[in-house]
Structure 1
Amino acid sequence: MMKKIFALCLVAPCFATAQFKGPLPVIKSPVFKKDTLSIVKTGAVPDGNTLNTKSINAAIETLTKRGGGVVYVPNGLWLTGPIVLKSNINLHLAAGATLLFTKDFNQYPLVEANWEGLQQMRNQSPISATNATNIAITGKGIVDGNGDAWRMVKKDKLTESQWKRLVASGGVLNEDKKGWYPSEKALKGSKMSNPGAISPEKDAAFFNSIKDFLRPNLVLLTGCKQILLEGVTFQNSPAWTLHPLMSEHLTVRNVNVKNPWYAQNGDGIDVESCKNVLIENSVFDVGDDGLCMKSGRDAEGRKRGMATENVIIRGCTVYASHGGFVIGSEMSGGVKNVYVSNCTFIGSDVGLRFKTTRGRGGVVENIFIRDIYMKDLPGDAILFDMYYAAKDPVPLAGEKRELPVIETKPVSEATPVFKNFQISNIYCNGADRGVFVRGLPEMPVKDIVMENMVLQAKKGIEIQEGNGITFKNVHIISDETEPVVDIIQSSGLVFDKFNFKKGASLLFRVSGDRSKDIQIKNTDATSAGQKIQYELGASEKSVSLK
C-alpha cells in the first residue's frame, strides 16, 4: 500500500506556465498505515444475499481506532447498505470484489445533504465521508449502486421490448404513460416543485412520503481533504456517481464510471466547490454529463462563495454523456483555473459544454483546453449557452422546443459571466454543429480564443451575443453552407486564417444593429458563392475583410 505522500504538481507539458497567473497548485495524496483488516474478520459474507452493512462499517471503525489503515474487501459479491468512510482509511477492493448496494430503500436513512447545488433532504449516499482527511477508495473491484431500483425512466429512451420488460417488473407509470417510476412515493415526489428542499413546514412524515424520489449520489465526499479514487469501477448510480463537495486535494486516477445512457441525472463526476483536483486516465460512459465542474446554485451558491479552482483533467475518455467536459449549470460560486488536455469524446451529446442561465451569477474564467479529439456527436462540438433550460442537449424524436425570448435585463450579482477561455487543437469527426455561442444581451460570452481546429459537422458556427471571440486557423467542414458562419448581435470577432468547405453558398451572415468590429483576415473567400450577407440592421461597416 501507499507508504508516503505523493505531491503532484499540476504542470502539464502542453500548457505554457505563463497562461496561469499565480503559483501552480500542488495536490497532496493520502498516506496510510500498513495495518490491514479484511471485512471477513468483522463478519462479512460474500454471498450476494447477506447484508454486510454492520460488518463493513465495523471494520472501518476498528481501524479508525487504531489510527487508520486499509480496509480490505476480498473477491466476492458483498451486499451492503450505506458505508461511511473515516479519516485515514483506504477502502481497497480486490480484483473480483463487488460492493453491491441493496435495493431496500429502508436501509438508507434520510439525511441533510446537497442536490444540484442546494441544501436538500436526501437518502444517505451508498458511500460517504464528511470532514474526513486522508481517505481513499482503491483497487480493481466494482462499486455497484443498484441505481436501476431508484431511477425514473423515460419511455422514449428505451426500445419497445425494453419498455415492456421494465413495466412488467413493477413500479408505476405517470399520467401520460411515458414515464416509469419505481414506486408511488417516487411518482409523488416527481409532481412537486423542489420537494427535497428543507423548510419549517416539512416534517419527517412529509419527507418519508416522497422518500423514494430523493435519490442519493453514489459517492459523496463533503468537506474532505487528501482524497484518492484509483483503479475502481463505479457503476449503476442512483443519481450522480462521484460527487466531491467543498473538498481539497482530490486525485482521481484510472477509474471507470458506467451508467446506462438513459440514466436520469447519471453524471460521471461532479466536482463542486473543490480546490486542487487532478482527474487523469479515466473512462466515463454515463447517462448525463461526463466530467463536470460546479460550484452551487443561484443565491445559495453565491452565499457559499466557494469556487471550483485549480483543476487539471488529462488523458480521459468520455463515451455516452450529455457532455464530455462540462462547466455548469450550477456554477454560482465560480469556476476558475482549469486545464483540460488530451481527452477523447466519442458519442457524447456535446463535446465541450458550458452552460448557465440568468439567476446563477458566478464567474467562469481562466479555462485552458487543448488536444481534444471527438467523434460522432449528436449535438455541438463546442457549446456556450447562457439560456440553459435544464433539458437534454439533444431533443428526443418528435420533441418540440421553443427558442428563448431575447430581452435585455439589468446586470446584477445574479448575472453569470463566461470569459477568458483558450481552446486549441480541437479535432471533431462528426457533429450536428461545430460551434454554438449564445450569450445574454447584457452579458455576452467574451474573451474566447479558439485556434487550430478541424470540425466536421452538419452545420458550421453560430454566434449570438458574443464579444471578443477569436477564431484562428480554424477549418469548418460543414454540410450546410448557407451560411457557414452565422453572426447575430456580436462584436469584436476575429476570423484569422479561416478555412471552409469549397463551394459554400454563403460564407458569413451578419445580423443585428449591434454587430460590429468583425475582422476577417488571411482568409481566401473566393470559392464562396457569396462572401457576406447583412440583415436586420447590420451593414458593410460591421465587417472588415482583408
Structure 2
Amino acid sequence: MDFDEKQSFGFGGNAMIARVSRFSWSPFLFLITLTALLSFQITTNTIYPIKIVFSSTSKTDVSSDTRTSCVGFFGELPERKAVMSITEFGGVGDGKTSNTETFRKAIRYLKRFGESGGAQLNVPKGRWVTGSFNLTSNFTLFLEEGAVILGSQDPKEWPIIEPLPSYGRGRERLGGRHISLVHGDGLTNVVITGNNGTIDGQGKMWWELWWNRTLEHTRGHLVELMNSNNILIANLTFCNSPFWTIHPVYCSNVVVKDMTILAPLKAPNTDGIDPDSSTNVCIEDCYIESGR
C-alpha cells in the first residue's frame, strides 16, 4: 500500500479534548512528551521486535505476548526428499555472472519432487546475481551463511506481468507491473529461510527511475506470493527492495519470523511487510527499517 494508506502499529487512537476550568501544565507537558516520542518513531522508521497476528483481512489483532510462537500453526520445518545446491546447476556466485536462467532451471528440475517428498534448493556462500524466478509447491529456498542473492540490474530480467485483480492497474503506472524477484502463484507449503543469508534487491536503480519519472511500469517487490497457503519466511535479511519488500497477497497461513528488513530513508515506498488481502498472517520478532 502507499504510505498514506498504511496502518501504523505504533501510537494511535482518537484525540480527546477536555475542557478545564483553569490552566494546567500537566496536559501541556504530556502533549510535548507525546509529540517527541512520535517524532522519534517517524524519524527512525523502525519497528522493534513485536508479535503481530492477523486472523482476518481486517488486520486488527495485535499482541506483544511472545511466550508462544505464532509459527505453531505452520507446523515443523519440513524435511525435503531432494536437496540440491545451485552450484549443481552451474551457478556462479562471483557477484557479476547472471544466474537468472540457472535459478529458473534448478526450480523447474526440483518441481518434479513436489508430490514425492518435496525439494530444497541451497544457495551457498557467495554473491549470486539473478533476475526474477518463480518458486514451486512443497519447496524450500535455503540461503546458507554468507549467501547473498543480488537482484539483477537489467529490467528485462524482471518480466512484466498482469496487475493484481483487486487493483486493476499497476500501483505506480497504468498497465502491467514488473514481477517480484522471488515470486510464486497458487503454491502450498513454501519455505524461504536460511542461516541469516541475505536477499538484496539492489533497488537504487529502480528508486532513481521513480524519482526521475522515467519508470515505465510499476516496480517489482522483493518477494511476492499470490493465492498461496502455508508459507514460512524466516531467519534472513532482506534489503534494498525496488518496491515493497515482502508481499503475500490473497494468501493464508503465512509466517514471517526472525527477519531483518532494511531500506534507506531515501527509498520511495519500500514498505517492509504488507500482507495484502491475506488471512492468518503472523509477523514475529522482525526488525524493520523502512524507507516508506
SS at 2:156's partner residue? Answer: helix
C-alpha distance in structure 2 between counterparts of 1:28 and 1:81, whole Å: 29
1:36 to 83, 98, 105: 83
Cα drift, residue 61 of structure 1: 1.7
C-alpha distance in structure 2 between counterparts of 1:284 and 1:252, whole Å: 12
C-alpha distance in structure 2 between counterparts of 1:66 and 1:113, whole Å: 31
- Specify which structure has the higher proportion of helix: 2
User: Match of 2:15?
Assistant: none
C-alpha distance in structure 2 between counterparts of 1:31 and 1:117, whole Å: 34
Cα drift, residue 218 of structure 1: 1.1
C-alpha distance in structure 1 between counterparts of 2:65 and 2:151, whole Å: 41
User: Match of 2:189?
Assistant: 134
Deviations 1:74-110 (A, max 9, x none): 0000011101110011000001000001111111211
User: Match of 2:13?
Assistant: none
Residue 102 in structure 1 maps to residue 152 in structure 2: yes
Q: Name the aligned partner's letter for residue 279 of structure 1.
A: I
Residue 238 in structure 1 maps to residue 242 in structure 2: yes
User: Match of 1:83?
Assistant: 133
1:63 to 88, 99, 110: 110
SS at 2:177's partner residue? Answer: strand
Deviations 1:155-185 (A, max 9, x none): xxxxxxxxxxxxxxxx7xxxxxxx942xxxx
Gaps of 5+ in 1: 1-7, 16-23, 153-170, 172-178, 182-186, 190-209, 289-546
* 2:143–2:198 contact (8 Å) kept in structure 1: yes
C-alpha distance in structure 1 between counterparts of 2:211 and 2:282, whole Å: 37
Q: Name the aligned partner's letter for residue 73 of structure 1.
A: V
Cα drift, residue 66 of structure 1: 2.0
* 2:81–2:113 contact (8 Å) kept in structure 1: no
Residue 151 in structure 1 maps to residue 207 in structure 2: yes
Larger Rg: 1
* 2:98–2:130 contact (8 Å) kept in structure 1: yes
Deviations 1:435-482 (A, max 9, x none): xxxxxxxxxxxxxxxxxxxxxxxxxxxxxxxxxxxxxxxxxxxxxxxx
What is the TM-score normalised by the length of structure 2?
A: 0.69
Length, aligned pairs only: 220
What is the root-mean-square deviation in Å for CA atoms of aligned residues? 2.7
What is the TM-score normalised by the length of structure 1?
A: 0.38
C-alpha distance in structure 2 between counterparts of 1:275 and 1:118, whole Å: 21
Residue 74 in structure 1 maps to residue 124 in structure 2: yes
Structure number with the bigger relative contact order (C-alpha 8 A, sep ≥ 6) is 2
Cα drift, residue 13 of structure 1: 8.8
Gaps of 5+ in 2: 1-52, 56-60, 171-175
* 2:74–2:232 contact (8 Å) kept in structure 1: no
C-alpha distance in structure 1 between counterparts of 2:197 and 2:275, whole Å: 23
2:282 to 278, 282, 285: 278
1:111 to 150, 158, 161: 161
Cα drift, residue 136 of structure 1: 1.1
SS at 1:138's partner residue? Answer: strand
